[in-house]
Structures are given as structure tokens and as C-alpha cells.
Structure 1
Amino acid sequence: MAELIEKPTRIESTGNKPKQIDEYIGRVNSQTDVISIAQMHSPSGWMEPGQRPEFDEFTLVLKGTLCVEYEGGKLEVNPGQAVIARKGEWVRYSTPGAEGAEYIAICLPAFSPDTVNRDSD
């Protein structure tokens, strides 16, 4: 049976500035552990700690620019572009541009604070 997701749940963010995370599908909003789908709104100058997650993350940028650092380099992902961060790879996300960024993040399996493996401070 098809299941309507009427609205997302706002999830607390990590990073140097508040970021809006609206989870539509995932462990919190739909009790789904196989995949998570969330819409992100990151302000200008936002940065989170690096991480080595136990899930693949597929990110589609809608507005602004998302900076993605990885071992050996850095990507700037612009509107209409996407990036894949594979599980087990180190990655760090930020939005240094003046307008911040809006993007959709899909994690497979679903995002979990227990499996994101953030860098310690």
C-alpha cells in the first residue's frame, strides 16, 4: 500500500551554524532504515565536521553552492549538479558562498548519528 508522507520532521543539525534539516523519509519521520531523504537549507559560512559514514550519500543541489571536501580534493557543487559520497570515504560539507545552499540529501541506508562517524573536535 502506498504511504503518504504529509510533512517532514525538523532534525537538529551539526556544524558551526544552525542548518535546517527536514527529513521526509528516514529513521525519524517514517521509521525507515533502508533510505533517508531530507531537504537541507544551509546558511552562508556553515561547515560541519568531517565524517566517514557507513552509508552512501547522494546530494542534489537546488540553490547556492555546496562545497564537498574529500581526501585528495574539493568539489563545488552548483544548482542542477549532484555529488555522490561513497560509504567509508572521508568527506566534509560546507556552504561558504554568500547565499548558502539548498539541497536534497539521500542516504542509503538511512542516515543515523551512530553511523555517520564524525571527526572528533
Structure 2
Amino acid sequence: MPTLIPGPSRVEAAGSKPKLIDEYVGNVNTREPGLSLAHMRSPGGWVEPGQTPTFDEYTLVLRGLLRVEHRDGVLDVAAGQAVRVAAGEWVRYSTPEAEGAEYVAVCLPAFTLDAARRDPE
């Protein structure tokens, strides 16, 4: 039988400015360790700490531009595009344009702070 997920849980975000994270599926909202699905809204000028996660992350940009820095350069992901970051790759996400960005992130297995393996501050 299908299970309705009536709404998300708001999750605290890392980064230089407040970012909204609403987790629909994952360790917080549904106690699902195998996958997380979150709706993100970040303001212009937001920068997240670098990380080398132990999960694969798929991100679909709905509005704005998401910048993905990696060891070999920079990738700009615009509305209507998606990006995959494999487990073990170093990345840093940001939203450099004034209007910020709105996007959906899927992590396999589910996101945890420990699994993100963020760079020391």
C-alpha cells in the first residue's frame, strides 16, 4: 500500500547565509537511511563548506543557478539541468547569482552530517 508523506521536516543548513532545506524522505522526516529527498532554497551569495561525501548526490535545479566547484574546476548548473556528484568526490556548492536558487537533491544513501564529511572550518 502506498504511504503518504504529509509534509517535510525543516533541516538546519550549513553555509554562509541561511538556506532552507525541507526534507521529504530521509533520516529526519521518514527515518529512511537508504535515500534522502530534499527541496532546497538558497539565497544569492550562499556558499556551503567543501565536502567529500560518502553518498552519491543528484541535484535538479528548478530555478536560478547552482555552482558546483570540484577538484578539476567549476560547473554551473542552470534551471532545467541536473548534476550528479559521486561518493568520494570533493565538491563545494554555492549560489552566486543575486536571485539564489531552488533545487531538489537526492542522496543515496541518505544524507547525514557525518556522511557529508565537510572540510574543517
Q: Same fold (TM over 0.5)?
A: yes
Shift of 1:48: 0.6
Any residues of structure 2 matched to 1:21-100 within 5 Å, and which?
Answer: 21-100=21-100
Q: Which runs of 5+ in 2 are unaligned?
A: none
Structure 2 residue identity aligned to 1:107? C
> Equivalents in 2 of 1:109, 1:17: separation in Å?
26
Q: Write out per-residue CA displacement over residues 25-75 of structure 1, whole angstroms, 9 at most, x where no aligned residue.
A: 000000000000000000000001000000000000000000000001101
> Equivalents in 2 of 1:16, 1:59: separation in Å?
20
Aligned-pair identity in percent equals: 59
Query: SS in structure 2 opposite 1:65?
Result: strand
> Equivalents in 2 of 1:18, 1:102: separation in Å?
13
> Equivalents in 2 of 1:65, 1:44: separation in Å?
9
Query: SS in structure 1 opposite 2:31?
Result: coil
- Which ranges of 4 or more aligned residues in structure 1 deviate by more than 6 Å? none
Q: Would you say how many aligned residue pairs link Structure 1 and Structure 2? A: 121
Q: CA RMSD in A?
A: 0.4
> Equivalents in 2 of 1:16, 1:61: separation in Å?
20
TM-score calculated relative to the size of structure 1: 0.99
Q: Which runs of 5+ in 1 are unaligned?
A: none
Shift of 1:87: 0.2
> Equivalents in 2 of 1:98, 1:115: separation in Å?
30
